[in-house]
Chain A
């Protein structure tokens, strides 16, 4: 009898103490499995940013290594702060100003989501922080296009403005529940984890910035070699690992769709990397480490929009196509002679476009059935979806290119964007940070 009483007391205690902690004010239940995976994903996506810093940092000359790494790190500071203040609201609030971006005063400083739990059973703080990491990495990707020649101060202002005026609106259009690209066609433009929002926008903006700034001193006649391929390879590895959070986390659940996205991600990265060294081996005679890393990235970028809808064979083909197109794009760049220093456009722009368009051919049948059911006349073909994808890609390219040009043009009137000749020769590390990356490494 006494034992029973004790047990019921424990149960009662649990009811009073335990339950208020896992139920939100409106009674939505926390799915602890999904929440645990989303917390992990949030950390994994953050890991991609030091990964990107290492990837880019190893590719520049030794005098610019810290400056290049700082391009990624400072984004973690600037964009995180902006995200909490207005970013989340601009992306995931309701339409304002005709759907130009979103706004919800509850999201201002995240002040109204303290106890919110979204429908997926995840605290809104977790969703908000997860999405915030995407906002951080996107402007950091652009830095690859104009590495080794921008003023640090101007870069900081640039990524702040770019995040507010390019990323947030695009993110709202594609991922906000009332965004117009989210509702395009039968079941929306497919951008699972950020092909258009992250990679196309960053790649295209990088190209515009690189063209606006002009090339580095001595490019392309002077050979500019990577200072440390080892950290580049480690960075590529971290990016691959982090991408599981980026793609599989974008299911905002912990279940079947997570597993599908995770598998597609692994397959595309591997096939992309293999394709790259095969092409390179055939074309140049040697399989380079940088080629393998580039192939990993090309595959990952291409599968980003597609991870939720393609099956493994589709992901494999996307990886192959991405490496083929990106490799060609870099050869074309070398012919044309513009200085997209670390191929932000060649990999992220082209890879993103390839993924967003070609995914239409590999969508799993169940998705197409659901789209047909949702469409007005009950049918929905691959070509219908390709049209929707092409429109979304076109809008992303035009918007990102135009807006980036305006931002840089105006910003350049206030703060000189390109490093002075002396600063560029001395190196970003010394000119803007007063430090040096290495001890006695020989100059390169």
Chain B
């Protein structure tokens, strides 16, 4: 089992989510996060262009069985790139970490079955 954590642009959230649902990956957790990356975005504040310290991003967390890792990553890669398929600095990152255990609270099931 793996935990896939993707940090993506806010504006790409709908595209990524729809693409994941199309690929039959429906169990996801989404949260709003902020941080530093390579990207510097400019925002308008009181008519001035400013560069904020922390850039808002979306974090998607998906726990998958090993056989689903590739399709999940490919789907996110395709949907999270801005500017068509070219991509831009700031499109985000995907982290894959090993997942030790997964337990469904309702039944107490463990492992791949519970995902």
Contacts and interface: CB of A to CB of B under 8 A. Distances in A.
A366 interface: no
B69 interface: no
B44 A443 contact: no
A63 B31 CA distance: 14
Contact of B11 (A430, A440, A441, A442): A430
B30 interface: yes
Contacts of A441: 32
B30 to A, nearest CB: 6
A443 B11 contact: no
B14 A442 contact: no
B35 to A, nearest CB: 12
A440 B32 contact: yes
Interface in B57-89: 58
Nearest to A435: B44
B14 A217 contact: yes
A90 B56 CA distance: 49
Given A217-B14, A425-B11, A425-B15, A443 B32 contact: yes
Interface residues of A, number: 14
Contacts of B34: 440
Contacts of A426: 10-11
Given A425-B14, A426-B11, A430-B11, A436 B56 contact: yes
A422 B10 CA distance: 12
Nearest to A441: B32
Contacts of B14: 217, 425
Contact of B30 (A435, A440, A443): A443
B13 interface: yes
B43 interface: yes
A48 B32 CA distance: 33
A303 B106 CA distance: 51
A434 interface: yes
A442 B30 contact: yes
Nearest to A444: B30
A217 B21 CA distance: 15
Contacts of A425: 11, 13-15
Contact of A434 (B15, B31, B43, B58): B43
Interface of A: 63, 217, 422, 425-427, 430, 434-436, 440-443
19 contacts: A63-B10, A217-B14, A425-B11, A425-B14, A426-B11, A427-B11, A430-B11, A434-B44, A435-B43, A435-B44, A436-B56, A440-B32, A440-B34, A440-B56, A441-B32, A442-B31, A442-B32, A443-B30, A443-B32
User: Which 8 pairs, one residue from A and one from B, show the smallest C-beta to C-beta distance?
Assistant: A426-B11, A425-B14, A434-B44, A440-B32, A442-B32, A443-B30, A443-B13, A443-B32
